[in-house]
Structure 1
Amino acid sequence: MNTKLHAVADMKGRPIRLFMTAGQVSDYTGAHALLDSLPEEKWMLGDRGYDAEWFREALKDKGMKVCIPGRKSRKTPVRYDKRRYKQRNRIEIMFGRLKDWRRVAPRYDRCPIIYLSAIALAATVLFWL
């Protein structure tokens, strides 16, 4: 079984919200699930997988500025702040710190519920360190 973890992190790279989907599911599913629980922030930084007009409009309705580059297959290019987008590495660092946990990195658990609970435990410790 393959899984995909969707996460929301603060500017310090600490995990705030987690959502897991099957590996073959689109990133839009995770974005839709986490949309209502997003904290009130000025900016939303995301990777190309979250590039969708409905997601951009929903974030603008929440009062957030969007910094998501457009997909390469997009017909009309999207402008985004490249300098601000470089700060997205903090969430990549967060995923790297989660993978430092021996149980999380190799995905020993076949049951997604048990795997998500291991991730939640690791995220809780990371939040307070």
Structure 2
Amino acid sequence: MQDARPGCPPQHSGRKRIGGIRFRTRTGVPWRDVPEQYGPRETVCGLLRHRRRQRNGTWQRLHTQLQARADADGLITWDGSMDSTVARAHQHAAGARKRPALR
């Protein structure tokens, strides 16, 4: 890492940043709860940068490429499971009246 110039933000490892984003996505915690091992919250978050990459499909392309590589190496098994169990909703959750009946 080079010496930081005055007025320039320090350079952080992209690997740390992506690790922090993956941690946050995998666990669902708020950005403020991402562990310090991934660097400062503001750096990991890079919220605008993260959302911009999400919108332009970068994360989806990366996921697809990694999945294809893992599948080619035989690391993924595509076994499925079907279940015929029926989960019934409570009567009040299934289209019950929203207004009291007229008397």
Q: TM-score range by the shorter chain?
A: 0.3 to 0.5
**Structure index of larger Rg:** 2
TM-score by length of 2: 0.34
Flag the structure with higher helix content: 2
